[in-house]
Structure 1
C-alpha cells in the first residue's frame, strides 16, 4: 500500500533526528536509521515548499506493523507525505 496524502503528524526528535511519532491515532517508533530528504524527492513544485526538508524512516507501531514514512516539515508542523508497506 502507498499513500500520497499529506497528513499532520506529531514527531519527536532527539539531536534533530526522528525517534518517535504519533500518526493516524497510533504511536510509531523508528526502527531503522532515518535518512534526511532534500528538495529532489518531493512531488510538489519547489516554489510551494521553499526550504522543504524531511526524513524517510521505518516506523513500527505497538502491534508490530512496520511502514516506511516520508515526512516533511511544513509551515504548520510535520506532515506525512507518503507511507509504504
Structure 2
C-alpha cells in the first residue's frame, strides 16, 4: 500500500531503530537497507536528494510489516508498507 504519512523515527548510529507510526510504537526487527532515489515509484515534484530506508518493524502486539521510509526536508515519511 502506498501512503505518504509522517512518522517519528529514532536512529541508533544513524540507522533506524524505533518509530511511532499510525499511533503505534514499532521496533525495527531486521537489518535496515538504505534506499536511494532510484527505488521510489512516484516522481518527486521538486528535484532534491532523496534517501530512505526499508526495514521490518514489529509493534507491541507482535504485528510485523516492512516499511519504506524517506527523509523529507524536516521529517520522515512512510512511503509504502508491505504485509
TM-score by length of 1: 0.92
Indicate which of 65, 70, 73 corresponds to 1:72: 70
Summarize the alignment of residues 1-85 of structure 1 with structure 2, pairs less than 5 Å apart: 3-45=1-43, 48-85=46-83
Unmatched runs of 5 consecutive residues or more in structure 1: none
Q: How far has the Cα of 1:44 moved from its partner?
A: 2.7
Number of corresponding residues: 83
Distance in 1 (CA, whole Å) between partners of 2:47 and 2:64 is 28
TM-score by length of 2: 0.94
Q: How far has the Cα of 1:75 moved from its partner?
A: 1.4
Greater share of helix: 1
TM-aligned CA distance change 1:15 to 1:26, over 3 Å: same
Q: Secondary structure at the match of 2:46?
A: helix
Q: How far has the Cα of 1:49 moved from its partner?
A: 4.9
- Structure 1 stretches (4+) deviating beyond 6 angstroms? none
Distance in 1 (CA, whole Å) between partners of 2:46 and 2:68 is 17
Distance in 1 (CA, whole Å) between partners of 2:50 and 2:78 is 13
Distance in 2 (CA, whole Å) between partners of 1:38 and 1:57 is 14
